[in-house]
Amino acid sequence: MKSNPAKKRSSGVSRRDFLRRTAAVAAGAYVGPMIVPASALGLGQTVAPSNRIVMGCIGVGSQGTGNLEGFLEKKDFQFVSVCDVDRGHRENAMSIINGTYGNKDCKGYNDFREMLERTDLDGVSIAVPDHWHSIPAIAAANKKLDIYAEKPLSLTIVEGRAMVEAVHRNGVVWQTGSWQRSRDNFLHACELVRSGRIGRVHTVKVGLPTGSPIEMQPVMPIPEGFDYNFWLGPAPEAPYTEKRCHWNFRWILDYSGGQLTDWAAHHCDIANWGMGTEASGPVEVEGAGVFPRDGLWNAATDYEFNATFPKGVSPVSPDGFVMNVSNKNEMGARFEGEDGWIYVTRGDQSSGPGDLIASEIGEKDVRLYRSDDHAQNFIDCVRSRKETVAPIAAAHHAIVIAHLGNIAMQLGRKVRWDPEKEEFTDDPQASRMLARAMRGDWHI
């Protein structure tokens, strides 16, 4: 079932190299924007073991295990290893993998660096807390592994930029877990906006969830089998308490940007997709947030900020536009133009005036990247070496908006931003918040 590392070394050509070379040949005959799904070529259910994409998982908590279970439905993958600093999570994921394949081949690791030393991996699936996103992703990219990784892309702007550069420098395939891009209603809404159906867009309202406070938690003994020091990793020293870890990391600013960054990676990403601003960013950000004054969790519970995009960055907003991001807006993205509005969220969409959301995209309209299966798109791109529907640069530009919002709200004032240089303009204090020092020996 697994590829044979010894055989690979003796041949001097890895299966990964082979996949890339054959993809390059195929690319010569490639025409049009569509990537032909492997499933459409009859590959989905009949992939020879030697042609499977050999994968490892880094992080198999609730999200990582959910991703894994979805991936295991794809016969193109062969999962051979699992890494998690929580033994319970690790052993559960190993059991799922071994149960799927009917063997005991999956190997578990506590330290992702040891797993990345394997020579048989083609790619990794990363689903770890946000403060751990950059380090294993950059390490995997430097090992020339293709990467499926959870959103939000980064904890800081500097970490995100380093991740983008590592992925591009190494030429690896990257897909962010911003799976809304693989849902037809989001694609359709964005294509309508990009095709000018609502005229010049002046405002995009992005609605995200409200955060939560919690009372201060007592210091607790570290559970057996949980490598808490490794879980903290680059984050500041802090004593263990249950509500700090696993799913709850997202409420604490040492490990995340709160609901703001968690969901901006979805809906700000869709806003950028619709506006065609995936490679640019705002020049001013200003807003206010309510940060819990006591208790363990300190990410903003209520928040609202405006990100001002300048002239010329959006093809449907020549004069510039404002992206209003708040938990007070309706969940999703609402595009408001001179001739109407379009709203899209999970499982729903609407428009006005009339039912223009129901109109079809014509031959002369703008067509965006079409994917109807996020995992399959990753598989197809690993084989074709094409860019996925959710590339790392788009994820970076989406989450930069949220990072800027958090910085402006924490400073309590407007910040000005140069999206080309990715620098604050004449703002040394905000510039201090571009990156964070990392604990111990960890670095990007």
Partner 1 sequence: MKQFTSLALAIALAGCAHVATKPVATEPTAPELKAIATYVHGQGREPLTVVEDMVREAAKGADAGAGLSVELSTLLTGNANFDCKQFVCRMLAKIGTEANVPSISPLLYDEATADIARFALQPIPGDAVDKALIKALRSGPAEARVGIVNSLGMRGSRAAKSDLAKLAGSVDPKVAEAARAALAKIG
Binding residues (CB under 8 A) for partner 1: these are 157-158, 161-162, 165, 216-219, 236-239, 241, 293-296, 298, 410-413, 421-423, 428-429, 431-444
Residue nearer to partner 1 on the CB measure, 91 or 427:
427
Q: Judge whether 311 and 318 are in contact, CB under 8 Å.
A: yes
Query: Counting beta carbons within 10 angstroms of the beta carbon of residue 359, is it exposed (0 to 12), middle (13 to 18) or buried (19 or more)?
Result: middle
To the nearest whole angstrom, how small is the minimum distance from the Cβ of residue 198 to partner 1?
35
The candidate with the shortest Cα–Cα distance to 318, out of 365, 284, 275, 361, is: 275
Q: How far is the CB of 424 from partner 1 (least distance, A)?
A: 8
Complex with partner 1: residue 370 or 436, whichever CB lies closer = 436
Q: Which residues pair with 176 in a beta bridge?
A: 149
Alpha-carbon span 283 to 418, nearest angstrom: 6
As a whole number of Å, the end-to-end CA separation of the chain is 34
We find the least distance from the C-beta atom of residue 157 to partner 1, in angstroms, to be 7
Q: Which residue lies nearer to partner 1 by CB, 245 or 433?
A: 433
| Distance in Å, CB of 440 to partner 1, minimum | 6
Whichever of 346 and 443 has its CB closer to partner 1, that residue is: 443
- Phi-psi domain of 402 (left: phi exceeds 0; alpha: psi -120 through 50; beta: other): alpha
- Rounded Cα–Cα distance for residues 14 and 3 (Å): 10
Query: Minimum distance between the CB of residue 109 and partner 1, rounded to whole angstroms?
Result: 19
Cβ proximity to partner 1: between 85 and 138 the closer is: 138
Nearer to partner 1, 215 or 348 (CB): 215
User: How far is 67 from 141, CA to CA, in rounded Å?
Assistant: 20
Q: How far apart are CA 434 and CA 127, in angstroms?
A: 23
Cβ(378)–Cβ(174) under 8 Å? no
The residue (of 1 and 220) whose beta carbon lies closer to partner 1 is 220
Instruction: Give the span between the Cα atoms of 297 and 295, in whole angstroms.
Output: 6
**Residue 293 CB, nearest approach to partner 1 (Å):** 4
Using alpha carbons, select from 238, 240, 250, 254 the residue that is nearest to residue 214: 250
Closer to partner 1 by CB, 104 or 413: give it. Answer: 413
DSSP string for residues in 7-46 = HHHHHS--HHHHHHHHHHHHHTT--SSPPPPGGGGT-TT-
Helix (H) or strand (E) segment spanning residue 343: strand 340-345
Residue 165 C-beta: closest distance to partner 1, Å:
7
- Closest contact distance (angstroms) between CB of 153 and partner 1 is 14
* Burial class for 160, CB neighbours closer than 10 Å (0-12, 13-18, 19+): buried
Measured between alpha carbons, how far is 125 from 64 in angstroms, rounded to an integer? Answer: 8
**Strand 332-337 vs strand 201-207: parallel, antiparallel, or unpaired?**
antiparallel
Min separation Cβ 300 and partner 1, Å: 13
Q: Cβ closer to partner 1: 13 or 437? A: 437
Return the number of the residue (161 or 416) whose C-beta is nearest partner 1: 161
Minimal distance, residue 162 CB to partner 1, in Å? 7
Tell me whether residue 179 or residue 303 sits nearer to partner 1 (CB atom).
303
Q: How far is the CB of 413 from partner 1 (least distance, A)?
A: 7
User: What number of other Cβ atoms are within 10 A of residue 74's Cβ?
Assistant: 20
Q: Which residues make Cβ contacts (< 8 Å) with residue 388, sequence separation at least 6?
A: 173, 174, 175, 371, 377, 378, 381
Largest CA distance in the chain: 66
